[in-house]
Amino acid sequence: MTRPITAVNDFVVKFANVNGSGSASANGLFVKAILRMGVPVGARNIFPSNIQGLPTWYEIRVSGQGWLGRRGGVDLMVAMNPQTWDRDVAEIEPGGYLFYDSTKPMPSSKFRDDVNVVGLPLTALCNAAYAEPSKRKILKNIIYLGALTFLLGIEREVVEALLAEEYAAKPALIPANIEALQIGFDHARDHLKPLGLKLRRTDKVGDRIFVDGNTAAGLGAVYGGATVCAWYPITPSTSLAEAFTAYCRKLRHDPETGEARYAIVQAEDEIASIGMVTGAGWNGARAFTCTSGPGVSLMQEFIGLSYFAEIPGVIFDVQRGGPSTGMPTRTQQSDILSAAYASHGDTKHVLLLPEGPNECFEFGALAFDLADRLQTMIFVMLDLDMGMNEWLIEPFRWDEERVLDRGKIMTAEMLEAGADFGRYKDVDGDGIPWRTLPATHPSKGSYFTRGTSRDPYARYSEEGAVYVDNMERLLRKFETAKSLVPPPIVRRAARKTSYGVIYYGSTSPAMDEALAGLEADGVAVDALRIRAFPFEGEIFEFIAAHDLVFVVEQNRDAQLRTLLINEGGVDPARLVKVLNYDGSPITARFIQTELAKGMGVPKTRAGEMVR
């Protein structure tokens, strides 16, 4: 028998459940309880589909050190789904633990002899206590939560307090839940031994909050002054529109009349969504849609129109894998190129690349200022991992003094004072023209909006020179964008090195851990996190300053690397691809191993860690 794994505040628990069995709430309580004990947690849902009855997993990384990326491997499997039993059991680390419902005897061939089997007669306990099927279904989850509370040393009072909070609105349900918790706890105490995996109270959580990126981005849109949201449901972006709706209901009604200071329309498809955003942006409202790759594909024509006609708008693209039935519930960073160069004609677009919920909030608000300032479509590129999973992050902050930047809008007063209004005229040398909103002035400032074929005064023209002139101005505007978008963040290694690594988006938590691991091994590598496209000079200086730069991405085709090569004329040989694109979030182990390999470091701890 392999030695049982022992660890305090540092292990991975995975729940294998059946979708629709009510497990999500019990699993959520499990995580919250650990957080309340001051122990950081990274938690991820893995759900092949939203359909009831299909398998769903919840993977929890407990890390007293605060590493919140996926670690890989499972130390304790809570196997509650017979359909996935074999693969779930196979996933457990040697010496790990298998927690299961032992009501029905199972043949010994179904177990592994290098894992510790912890059986609880869950169904029997539940059926003995409850007669009603609905109660049995829900409370079964609380019973296993009770057992785990004992087995891992979770403070029971903490779980009880959470249950009371959870059902604060329906207090009648509290006693039954507390009782179910006790059934599980008592049975485990009387019949089982605590596991080698232990939780111990610390103070590593602080005032951090636990929230998903879609919620954060929806809230960011509220703070960013968005008033029009047009969207079409698609996983994994739907909860962003839902969060915006929920926060608007709370925060955006006229206190006197109760009327809404926002308009949300569920459109008939993504083309209509982006059309509405375009119309609202043209008319001076801050408008957005949220979608995923398939939606961005459908929106292409309008994105081009926004580029050429210079209409503000925001697209939150919560990236997932593949089209159609592909991998819609898996995470990827695979829309980078299709967003950056969306549409026909010569176009390129501003992308913001948040690293997690904090920046989803921050960039979610900033995007609207940028859209108005640059008069163009701004993409905020989330992905399923940060969008739909709750992450432990610093609390949201907002500067009370901050004002919304509405960009260059020519007013009736300016027109009255004799301003020379040319809708597509570069008066300030930054490539950004002034615009008027419809109905600004009875006789001045109106213009006819079209895609191309017009001169700086918006007069129809098909002359080649006029067209080229306008296209050059659009490039100047894109240059201006470089100074407005969030700059990259550089982290220098402890000593001088000729190796660099570039990464972005939800790779951050895994990268933090990988960099710490490399440093602990004495391997030096400078890191740069890209936060936006267009790429500003510092990014290319970073590349130039290193002999070899790894570009870590979660897609197959190294899309950001392609963008770097294309936009910066970088020698491809200097940019090494490090790619994870199987649909599950990238891990520190993977990054550390790949980088070590690439640097020819003979043997790092990372190498040993990878199983």
Partner 1 sequence: MTYIAKPQFHHPSLKHNALGFTRRDYEGKVSTLCAGCGHDSISAAIVQACFEIDLEPHRLAKLSGIGCSSKTPDYFLGASHGFNTVHGRMPSVLTGANLANRSLIYLGVSGDGDSASIGLGQFAHAMRRGVNMTYIVENNGVYGLTKGQFSATADKGSKSKKGVVNSDSGIDMVGLALQLGATFVARSFSGDKDQLVPLIKAALTHKGAAFIDVLSPCIAFNNHKGSTKSFDWVREHNEAVNRLDVLMARMAVTASYEPGSLTEVTQHDGSVLLLRKVAEDYDPTDHAGAISYLQHAHAAGEIVTGLLYVDPEAEELHDALGTVKQPLNALSDEELVPPVAALAKINAGLR
Instruction: Determine if 239 is a binding residue for partner 1 (CB under 8 A).
Output: no
Among 265, 298, 337, 414, binds partner 1 (CB under 8 A): 265
Site for partner 1 contains 271 (CB under 8 A): yes
Euclidean distance between CA atoms 569 and 564, whole angstroms: 7
Q: Minimum CB separation from partner 1 for residue 420, in Å?
A: 10
Q: Is residue 448 at the binding interface for partner 1, with CB under 8 A as the rule?
A: yes
d(CA 67, CA 283): 46
Considering the complex, state which of residue 127 and residue 297 has its C-beta at the smaller distance from partner 1: 297
Which of helix, strand or coil describes residue 138? helix
Among 108, 257, 324, 325, binds partner 1 (CB under 8 A): 257
Task: Name the E strands within 322-440.
Answer: 327-331, 350-352, 377-383, 390-393
Binding to partner 1 in span 272-291, by CB under 8 A: 272-285, 287
- Pick the binder of partner 1 from 109, 134, 324, 443 (CB under 8 A): 443
Here the tokens at position 588 are 């520190």
- Judged by CB under 8 A, which of 237, 436, 554, 587 binds partner 1? 436
> Which segments of 47-129 are extended strands (E)?
55-63, 74-79, 92-101, 116-120
* Non-local CB neighbours of 152 within 8 Å, separated by 6+ positions: 76, 194, 195, 197, 198, 199
Min CB(285)–partner 1 separation in Å: 3
Residue 251 sits in the site that holds partner 1 (CB under 8 A): yes
Between residues 137 and 208, which has the closer beta carbon with respect to partner 1? Answer: 208
Cβ at position 278, least distance to partner 1 in Å = 5
- Selected from 6, 164, 323, 457, the binder of partner 1 by CB under 8 A is 457
Interaction of residue 190 with partner 1, rule CB under 8 A: no
Site string for partner 1, 414-433 (x = CB under 8 A): -------xxx----------
Residue 43 as a binder of partner 1 (CB under 8 A): the answer is no
Of residues 191, 193, 450, 605, which one binds partner 1 by CB under 8 A? 450
Binding of residue 398 to partner 1 (CB under 8 A): yes
Task: Rule CB under 8 A: choose which of 260, 471, 475, 489 binds partner 1.
Answer: 260
Nearer to partner 1 by Cβ, of 5 and 35: the residue is 35
Interface with partner 1, residue 581, by CB under 8 A: no
Select the span of 99-107, 110-118, 175-183, 441-449 touching partner 1 (CB under 8 A). Answer: 441-449
Task: Report residue 281 as tokens.
Answer: 């942006």
Q: How far is the CB of 413 from partner 1 (least distance, A)?
A: 15
Instruction: Please check whether residue 444 is in contact with residue 486, taking contact to mean a CB–CB distance below 8 angstroms.
Output: no
H or E segment to which residue 498 belongs:
none
Q: 392 forms bridges with which residues in the sheet?
A: 210
Residue-wise DSSP of 538-597: HHHHHHHT-SEEEEEESSSS-HHHHHHHHHH---GGGEEEEE--SSSPPBHHHHHHHHHH
Q: CA–CA separation, 3 vs 108, rounded Å?
A: 20
Pairing state of beta strands 548-553 and 197-198?
A: unpaired
What Rg value do the Cα atoms of the chain yield, rounded?
A: 27
Supply the minimum distance, in Å, between the C-beta of residue 440 and partner 1: 8
Binding piece for partner 1, criterion CB under 8 A, among 79-87, 122-130, 347-355, 453-461: 453-461
Q: How many residues bind partner 1 (CB under 8 A)?
A: 80
- Residue 82 burial by CB count (10 A; 0-12/13-18/19+): exposed, middle or buried? middle
**Nearest-5° Cα angle at 578, 574 to 583:** 150
Task: Quote the least distance from Cβ 392 to partner 1, whole Å.
Answer: 10
Q: How many CB atoms lie within 10 A of CB 123?
A: 15
User: What gap in Å lies between CA 230 and CA 199, rounded to an integer?
Assistant: 45
Among 449, 461, 480, 584, binds partner 1 (CB under 8 A): 449
Q: Which of 23, 81, 227, 554 binds partner 1 (CB under 8 A)?
A: 227
Using the minimum distance from each CB to partner 1, give the nearer residue, 394 or 541: 394
| Contacting residue, 53, 175, 345, 395, with partner 1 by CB under 8 A | 395
**Alpha helices (H) along 79-208:** 85-91, 122-129, 133-152, 156-166, 174-191
Which range, of 20-28, 58-66, 146-154, 249-257, touches partner 1 by CB under 8 A? Answer: 249-257
Contact 180, 144 (CB under 8 A): no
String of DSSP letters for 169-190: T-GGGHHHHHHHHHHHHHHHHH
**Pick from 134, 108, 139: which is nearest to 123 by CA?**
139
What single DSSP character describes residue 157? H
Q: Which of residues 293-332 bind partner 1 (CB under 8 A)?
A: 301-302, 305
**Residue (396 or 467) nearer to partner 1, CB:** 396
460 lies in the binding site for partner 1 (CB under 8 A): yes
Stretch that binds partner 1, among 68-76, 222-230, 479-487, 501-509 (CB under 8 A): 222-230
- Is 467 among the residues that bind partner 1 (CB under 8 A)? no
Judged by beta carbon, residue 205 or residue 352, the one nearer partner 1 is: 205
Nearer to partner 1, 268 or 547 (CB): 268
* Contact criterion met (CB below 8 Å) for 82 and 101: no
Q: Which residue number, 459 or 482, has a Cβ lying nearer to partner 1?
A: 459
Query: Does residue 240 touch partner 1 according to CB under 8 A?
Result: no
Task: List Cβ neighbours of 180 (8 Å cut-off, separation of 6 or more).
Answer: 126, 129, 139, 142, 143, 146
The verdict on 534 binding partner 1 (CB under 8 A) reads: no
User: Closer CB to partner 1, residue 406 or residue 482?
Assistant: 406
447 part of the interface to partner 1, by CB under 8 A: yes
**Nearest residue (CB) to partner 1, 139 versus 274:** 274
**Which DSSP string do the residues of 451-484 spell out, in sequence order?**
SSSB-TT--B---HHHHHHHHHHHHHHHHHHHHH
462: contact with partner 1 by CB under 8 A:
no
441 interacts with partner 1 by CB under 8 A: yes
